[in-house]
Structure 1
Amino acid sequence: MSEGLHHKLLVQALLGEIRNPAEWDRHPFVYWDLEDENGVNVPPPTIQGSRPDILARDPGDRRVIIAEAKTSRDIDNRHTETQLEAYFYFLSAFEKAELWLGVPWSCGGTARRVAMNVRSTVGTNHIPMRIMDFLVGEPMYKRVWNG
């Protein structure tokens, strides 16, 4: 599977998780940087030069989630660290904020380590993270780490 296709499938999996009504008190505004099944693309804003794959917020601005998909070759590098730094700084301005990462199956540990290191360096350990590793396909499998 190509790197671009794998990233797209991870974004779609994250979008499905974000759109889950059980995650929200109210229906959220969701911005994503990928055409959905209806050909709709509502890109999130750029944050310190980086555009997250998904940004969701509830109508009352009480909760914000940034979700980022990372392929196995794009987890442990300076580019990802720079993105995560920007996202953690942005999220620190909100009372209820979370960072979600969607990665390929078996990459959750690496993603968690990288994100925890960046979160600690930025000084935003109070911001919760959700790391999901996906085995994309039919059926799709996922494992989740919260912290």
Structure 2
Amino acid sequence: MSVSSTHTFYVKELIKWLQQGNDGGLEYFIHCDISNLNLGNQPPRIDGFIPDVYAKARFGERIIIGEAKTLMDVESRHSKNQYISYLKHCSCFASSALLLAVPWTMVNCVKGLLKAIMRNNNIKSIDVIVLEYLPEQFSDLWDK
């Protein structure tokens, strides 16, 4: 499956968010599923899924699983199954978060979807962070 430029842009935004210390200034070991970004090893497989970004705090137990979803992928069955797996994985750690990069038009939708998934699966105490400023589509022309 080829990775769209929009998806790659979203993954870079997840990484930028982590590297800029937006999570209380914590520093992370970052693993990324996109090889040309040269960030650590591939993230660990979680229930058969590989997240786009997996970050472990340099100090402490906090982990963050980052996932980028394009407009057409936010509500897919595959994505919903990923959300469930990643949230359950996060619930095994004392301090963890699911970090999502989605188009700004889907922010409220994905927040509601994750809230329902957490309620239906009895998942508590997980931070859900959604980047709220991303365009629906990224054009390679923006880099030129």
Amino acid at match of 1:87: Y
Amino acid at match of 1:132: L
User: Does the aligned pair in 1 maintain the 2:30–2:40 contact within 8 Å?
Assistant: no
User: Does the aligned pair in 2 maintain the 1:32–1:53 contact within 8 Å?
Assistant: yes
Unaligned 5+ segments in structure 2 are none
For residues 61 and 114 of structure 1, do their structure 2 counterparts lie closer, same or farther at Cα, with a shift above 3 Å needed?
same
With CA pairs under 8 Å and 6+ residues apart, which has the higher RCO, 1 or 2? Answer: 2
Q: Distance in 2 between matches of 1:123 and 1:21?
A: 30
Report how many residues are paired: 137
Question: Counterpart of 1:23 in 2: which secondary structure?
Answer: coil
Q: Is 1:8 the equivalent of 2:8?
A: yes
Structure 1 residue 117: Cα displacement: 1.5
Partner in structure 1 of residue 94 of structure 2: 95
Partner in structure 1 of residue 63 of structure 2: 64
Q: Is 1:34 the equivalent of 2:34?
A: yes
> % of aligned pairs identical?
24
Partner in structure 1 of residue 72 of structure 2: 73
TM-score, normalised by the number of residues in structure 2: 0.83
Give runs of ≥4 in structure 1 deviating > 6 Å: none
User: Does the aligned pair in 2 maintain the 1:34–1:53 contact within 8 Å?
Assistant: yes
Partner in structure 2 of residue 145 of structure 1: none
- Deviation string 1:34-81 (CA, Å, 9 cap, x unpaired) is 1355x4562100100011100111133421111100001001121111
User: Does the aligned pair in 1 maintain the 2:99–2:129 contact within 8 Å?
Assistant: yes
1:126-137 equivalences in 2 (<5 Å): 126-133=125-132, 134-135=134-135
Structure 1 residue 21: Cα displacement: 2.8
Amino acid at match of 1:27: E
TM-score, normalised by the number of residues in structure 1: 0.82
